Amino acid sequence: MAKLLIVDDDEVIRTSLFDLLSEEHECHTAASAEEALKHLGSWTYDAIITDLSMPGMSGEDLLGFVKVYAPRTPVIFISGKADPAGPERLLVKGGVDYLVKPFRLEEVEEAVARALGRRP
């Protein structure tokens, strides 16, 4: 059972992803990147799913911290904006996947499976 951190300021998205993924994985949630940093201080995660745009610290900012403090942890981005340069920029910085809202729940499951498979 993998341990996942789901980070999104939208409670509906956060809850939906928790409900979807908690059947197979141990899931923790955070409503902001700042809250996610507190979780990262206490737990080691096998993968992180984070919204890109949130009030305060962004998902991209969170990736910077993850790459310093937990560099082997894969980060999957979800975003409500279809930014053509977004996926490439984030993958170069170390993200492993980028999903645009609205996404199918199967896409999230597939992204998590890919991320967990990449983990050495």
Question: Residue 98: which H helix or E strand, with range?
Answer: strand 97-100
pLDDT band, residue 21 (cuts 50/70/90): very high
- CB crowding 39-61: b at 16 or more within 10 Å, else e: ebeeeebbbbbbbbebeebebbe
How many structural domains are present in the chain? 1
Question: pLDDT, tens digit, for every residue of 86-109?
Answer: 678 888 888 999 999 899 999 999
Sequence-ordered list of residues with C-beta below 8 angstroms from that of 114, at least 6 positions apart, any chain: 96, 97
Tell me the pTM.
0.93
Cα torsion angle, 67, 73, 74, 80, sign: negative
Q: Which domain holds residue 19?
A: 3-118
> What are the beta bridge partners of residue 28?
5
CATH code of the domain in which 42 resides: 3.40.50.2300
